[in-house]
Amino acid sequence: MNLLSLFPLSLRFKTIDSTQNFLKRNYKKLNNFTFVFSDYQREGKGRHGRKWISASSANLLFSFLIKDIKLVKRFDTLSIFVATIIKELLTSFEIENVQIKWPNDVYINSKKVAGILLEGINEGNELSALVIGIGLNVNQDTFEDGLRISPTSLKLELNKDINIKQLRKKTYKLFYKKLKNIDSIDYLKIANESNYLKDKRVTFEYNGKEMTGVARNINPDNSLSIEKDGEIFNVKSGEVNSIKAS
Ligand code: BTN
């Protein structure tokens, strides 16, 4: 067996508009689990139509394609699954206190180190593929002022530069292995053990109403339980416009 049969395809660009957009444009001719990395993105995208701005060659910016229909159907739970892979990657650098901020961020000591963007591709009314994008702050040590959430990076946490080339390889291999074995991984347990919001007071918007409660567990359908006056609300990320911990 050669490496190509083990690992379908990993592309790397020096510069691109967005790895996310590349896969969305080209998904028809690409295989399941194609990975696209780029050193720089001219139009990096974050969630909720925000921009994802990253210094050139400093960070990991990548997206991968899912066409396996069994996985496509797990749309709702994949971003938490991906967050647990990032947690494992960071923990392998002996970084402590890596937490998963529902629904799709990864924090170290309450600062954001990675964000996940999951987009579906429809053919007619059918969801036929997914593109999952990850921005992981690696060697960037200064960030623009006024970001909504304080950022951090591996370099800031470890006080040393990380070899991006090695990290890229390691990331690709780890993601590929985990995606292949998704059915045997209890990722929900990992997510709940490192659930950043757990037992924190959160404000959230539910059916157009602003409410406050205490966050509890992440559920198998990827909803978050929020307790309010003894009542449990299971909120789906799509139903929550903002969730702030205080
Ligand atoms: C977020 O936290 O808002 C999600 C950020 C996702 C950013 C990544 S970087 C690689 C991929 N390409 C993009 O344009 N966006 C994602």
Cβ–Cβ < 8 Å for 119, 20? yes
pLDDT > 90? residue 242: no
Ligand 1 site residues (CB inside 6 A) read 18-20, 41, 44-47, 50, 52, 61-63, 105, 115-117, 133-135
Cα-to-centroid distance, 221 and ligand 1 (Å): 23
The string of pLDDT tens digits covering residues 44-74 is 999 989 999 999 999 999 999 999 999 999 9
Cβ–Cβ < 8 Å for 80, 118? no
Cα-to-centroid distance, 242 and ligand 1 (Å): 18
pTM for the model = 0.93
Cβ–Cβ < 8 Å for 129, 27? yes
Q: Check residue 8 and give its pLDDT.
A: 66
Closest ligand 1 atom, CA of 41?
14
Cα-to-centroid distance, 145 and ligand 1 (Å): 19
Question: Cis peptide leading into 220, omega within 30 of 0?
Answer: no
CA atoms within 13 A of residue 101's CA, in its CB half-sphere: 20
Pocket test for ligand 1, best of 12, 16, 20 (most atoms within 8 A of CB): 20
